Chain A
Amino acid sequence: GQQLNQSPQSMFIQEGEDVSMNCTSSSIFNTWLWYKQDPGEGPVLLIALYKAGELTSNGRLTAQFGITRKDSFLNISASIPSDVGIYFCAGTTGNTGKLIFGQGTTLQVKP
Chain B
Amino acid sequence: KAGVTQTPRYLIKTRGQQVTLSCSPISGHRSVSWYQQTPGQGLQFLFEYFSETQRNKGNFPGRFSGRQFSNSRSEMNVSTLELGDSALYLCASSLNPGALNTGELFFGEGSRLTVL
Please, how many angstroms separate the alpha-carbon atoms of A42 and B4 in the complex? 10
For residue B101, which residues in chain A have a CB less than 8 angstroms away from its CB?
92, 97, 99
Residues of B20-40 at the interface with A, using a CB-CB cut-off of 8 Å, are 33, 35
CB proximity of B115 to chain A, nearest CB, Å: 20
Residue of B4, B43, B108 with highest tally of chain A CB at under 10 A = B43
**A96 part of interface (Cβ distance < 8 Å):** yes
- Contact indicator B109/A104 (Cβ below 8 Å): no
For residue B48, which residues in chain A have a CB less than 8 angstroms away from its CB?
98
Stretch in contact with the other chain, from A11-19, A44-52, A54-62, A77-85: A44-52
- Contact indicator A101/B99 (Cβ below 8 Å): no
Please, how many angstroms separate the alpha-carbon atoms of A100 and B41 in the complex? 12
For residue B103, which residues in chain A have a CB less than 8 angstroms away from its CB?
31, 33, 48, 90-92, 97, 99
For residue B33, which residues in chain A have a CB less than 8 angstroms away from its CB?
99
Q: Report the number of A-B residue pairs with Cβ-Cβ less than 8 Å.
A: 65
For residue A104, which residues in chain B have a CB less than 8 angstroms away from its CB?
42-43
For residue A101, which residues in chain B have a CB less than 8 angstroms away from its CB?
35, 42-45
B99 closest partner in A (C-beta): A97
Please, how many angstroms separate the alpha-carbon atoms of A96 and B48 in the complex? 11
- Looking at the complex, which one of B4, B59, B102 makes contact with A48 (CB distance below 8 Å)? B102
- Contact indicator B42/A44 (Cβ below 8 Å): no
- Looking at the complex, which one of A48, A91, A103 makes contact with B104 (CB distance below 8 Å)? A48
**B110 part of interface (Cβ distance < 8 Å):** yes
8 contacts between A and B (CB under 8 A): A33-B104, A41-B109, A43-B90, A88-B42, A88-B43, A95-B99, A96-B98, A99-B45
